[in-house]
Every structure is written in structure tokens, then in C-alpha cells.
Amino acid sequence: MTDAQSAPTTGPEPGALARVFGVFFSPAKTFESIARKPGWDWLVPVVLLIGLTLVAGIYINPKLDTDTAIKDTMKRIEARGSLPDAQREQIQKSLEKQFGFVKSRWALIVGPLFVLIPLFFVSAVYLGAAKAMGAAARYGTILAGYAYCQLPQLVKGLIGVAVALPRDSIDLNDIDHLVKSNLGSFLDAEATAKPLMVLMNSVDLFEIWGVVLGSIMLSRTTKLSKNAAMIAVVSLWLLLVLVKVCGAAIGAAFGG
């Protein structure tokens, strides 16, 4: 058995607030508590993340400079060869619709899905990985633990909102660098190839923090050893980075 499963319970489990602080200051003990009693307080970090997403949608998205982004994209497309006027107009309208979405009311509705879908999906992937490695695991327990693993992203988001609020306009190329916590923050977005920029953006302090927490969480909520949990979480993270880089490469090949 793991330490989480063999350790005796000495009293009531910590509440949501204690678990929030515990993730930062004593993650192993906090995830052991979650393993013993997942409860429903994992909804607290989820609600906080959704709330932050809505705040960003209301106050930050309207400041995004989509006009410049459209012009820059059109320049890259036209650099590949001359376009008939009709096709150029069609592409222009498509880009206006695409970039305009981030400022629309629909973005406020879709925004929370970017919190919920990865939360439920990644938890399921972790469950599958744990079972594939011979561990006894439960989806609800992993889901509760993984929800608390999102707290570093909450911290990053709060810092990003604080940085963005005083600005009148925000370059879309700068949206990933409001908080200069990744290697991409120190590169020229215009001069750097898109796949390389996506790769450098992924080497992010808060993402690495989340990976470390995810490894601790998976080892405490399942029977996986620390090394096995680390291998599982890091491998899945590297796969996600690879998918992002490949997507950026495909987009760049088509002028995106």
C-alpha cells in the first residue's frame, strides 16, 4: 500500500480552504487527505478558475488587438502568392469572424468549457494510465486531486489579469507573455517560427509546477510509486506539448 492508504486518520479531513493552502505548502499531505476523502470541495478551485475565466472574458478580451492580428495574418497569406480579389475578400471575412469571436458573448459561454473539458478528460487519461500500470484507482478521487492541481494556473491567471487590466490594448502575440513565466517571453514573436514559439511557451514555470503537483497527486491517489507517477504525468505532458507544436506547424504551413 502507499503511505496515503496506510496512514491512519487522526481526525476530520481538512476543508476546502485548508486544502487550497495545503497544495502550496504541503501538497503530499493534502493529496493524501484527498485520497482518503475526496468530498465535493474540489469544486472550489474549479469555480475559482471559471470565475477568473469570466472576468478575463469581460474585462480583458475586449482589449485584444484583433485588427492588427487580422492584418498580419493577411500579409503572411498574401506573401505566399497573389490572390484573386474574391478569394482575398472571403479570407478576410473568415478571419474577421474567427478573431471577432474572442470579443463576442459566445466567448463568455465557451470560456468555462476550457476549464471543464480538460479537467474531466485529463482525469480520465490519468485513470487509464494508472490502471494500465497496474494501480487501483478511482476516477472521482483522481478528479478531485487534479482539480487542486489547477491552482498554479489560477495564480498565473490572477497575475495575468492584474497585468492586463491597466492596458488599453493587448497584442494577441503577447497574450501568452503577460506573465513572463515561460521561455517564449524572451523571444521575438515575429521573428520566431510558430512551432518553436509554442514549444518555448510550453516551458512555463506554472506548467512545470502543475506537472510536479500532478505527479504527487497521482502517486497519493493511486497505488503508483512516485517514479511511476512522475513518468506517467511527464509523458502525458510531453505528448500534449508535441500535439501543440504539430498543430502550430500545420497552421504555419497554411499561412496561419
Whole-number Å distance between alpha carbons of 148 and 49: 11
- Whose grid coordinates read 478531485? 144
Amino acid at 122: V
**Percent over 70 (pLDDT), the chain:** 94
Over 70: is that where the pLDDT of 144 sits? Answer: yes
- 94 three-class SS: helix
Q: In this predicted structure, what is the pLDDT of residue 10?
A: 58
Binned at pLDDT 50, 70 and 90, residue 172 comes out as: confident
| Mean pLDDT for the stretch of residues 205-227 | 96
pLDDT band at 1 (very low <50, low <70, confident <90, very high): very low
Which residue did the predictor score with more confidence, 196 or 1?
196
Is 50 exceeded by the pLDDT of residue 66? yes
Predicted TM-score (pTM) of the model is 0.86
Taking the CA atoms of residue 40, residue 45, residue 51 and residue 53 in that order, the dihedral angle to the nearest 10 degrees is: -130
Higher pLDDT, 89 or 129: 129
Q: In the chain, what's the furthest Cα-to-Cα distance?
A: 74
Query: Residue for cell digits 502517486?
Result: 219
Grid look-up 506547424 returns 249
pLDDT, residue 2, reads 46
Tell whether the model's pLDDT for residue 6 goes beyond 70.
no
pLDDT in the model for residue 8: 52
Integer Cα distance of 34 and 163 in angstroms: 33
Indicate whether 160 pLDDT > 90.
Answer: yes
What is the share, in percent, of the chain residues with pLDDT greater than 90? 60
Beta-carbon contacts of residue 8 (< 8 Å; ≥ 6 apart): none
Cα 83 → chain centroid? 37
Rounded (10°) CA dihedral 14, 15, 16, 21: -40
- The helix/strand/coil state of 8 is coil
Q: Which residues of 213-223 are buried (b: 16+ CB within 10 A; e: fewer)?
A: bbbbbbbbbbb
Q: Which three cell numbers stand for residue 101?
A: 469571436
SS3 state at 205: helix
Angle of helix 226-253 relative to helix 113-132, nearest 10 degrees? 130
- On the 0-12 / 13-18 / 19+ scale of CB atoms within 10 A, 244 is middle
Q: Whole-angstrom Cα distance, residue 148 to residue 221?
A: 13
